[in-house]
Amino acid sequence: MTAIVLASSSKYRRQLLEKLGLVFLSCSSDVDESPQSGESPDALVHRLSLAKAEEVGKTYPNHLIIGSDQVAVLDQGILGKPGGRDAVIQQLAKQSGRTVQFYTGVCVFNSATGLYLSDMDVCSVYFKTLNTPQIEKYIDLDRPFDCAGSFKSEGLGIALFSKIVGEDPNALVGLPLIKLVALLEKFGVNII
């Protein structure tokens, strides 16, 4: 089997990729994730997924590299990873009673040939109307400081939503496995 590297140090992405039963390495990339002027969310996640894979490909020159990136969008503005408690409170209050779009890009890059394929999943998250005590309790229990959109859908964050609409629930966590399986198959990696 072809050696596979996940271009991420995210424990969430590693856990998702483990679901496929693949043997893989994990290596973080040092890519500036800032959007370029006028860049759309879908263009951003495609660009960053490839950039992360290419960066890791410099260290692993004969591998299939999986890159992924995710952005949350509300009112045409990108919501970054909050980092701290106050930022989480602000993001969740802003999302309360609203719908947020999550764009999750995935790329498989053959570092030996330079060939790559990429795809993207879009998921809509419908937030319940949340009050400050609910938001604070959620933060204390789930600590979503490193998550786009300030929640962990694989954890208690699911209680914040009235519904989720998308093709792949894994994409919301950070890696669209359905799209990834299709891309890997095109590179000759069959999961089953």
CB atoms within 10 A of CB 65: 30
Average pLDDT over residues 173-180: 95
pLDDT for residue 106? 98
pLDDT for residue 111? 97
Q: How many domains does the chain have?
A: 1
Closest-CA residue to 174 (of 16, 59, 27): 16
Instruction: Calculate the average pLDDT of the chain.
Output: 93
Tell me which residue range forms the domain holding 104.
4-186
Domain membership of residue 136 (yes or no) is yes
pLDDT in tens, 42-54: 999 999 999 999 9
Domain membership of residue 182 (yes or no) is yes
Encoded tokens for 43? 């263009």
Angle at which helices 132-142 and 85-95 pack, to 10 degrees?
Answer: 130
Question: pTM for this structure?
Answer: 0.91
pLDDT in tens, 21-75: 999 999 999 899 888 999 999 999 999 999 999 999 999 999 999 999 999 999 9
Average pLDDT over residues 156-168: 94
What CATH number is attached to the domain comprising 156?
Answer: 3.90.950.10
Over 60: is that where the pLDDT of 1 sits? no
Confidence of residue 2 (pLDDT cuts 50, 70, 90): low
Domain membership of residue 101 (yes or no) is yes
Domain membership of residue 125 (yes or no) is yes
Domain membership of residue 172 (yes or no) is yes
Over 70: is that where the pLDDT of 115 sits? yes
pLDDT in tens, 117-135: 999 999 999 999 999 999 9
**Which residue blocks in the chain are alpha helix, DSSP H?**
11-18, 41-57, 85-95, 132-142, 169-173, 177-186
List, by residue number, the catalytic residues. Answer: 69
Domain membership of residue 192 (yes or no) is no
Closest-CA residue to 56 (of 111, 117, 120, 113): 111
CB atoms within 10 A of CB 33: 15
Domain membership of residue 169 (yes or no) is yes
Domain membership of residue 191 (yes or no) is no
Distance, in Å, from the CA atom of 158 to the CA atom of 80, rounded to the nearest integer, reads: 19
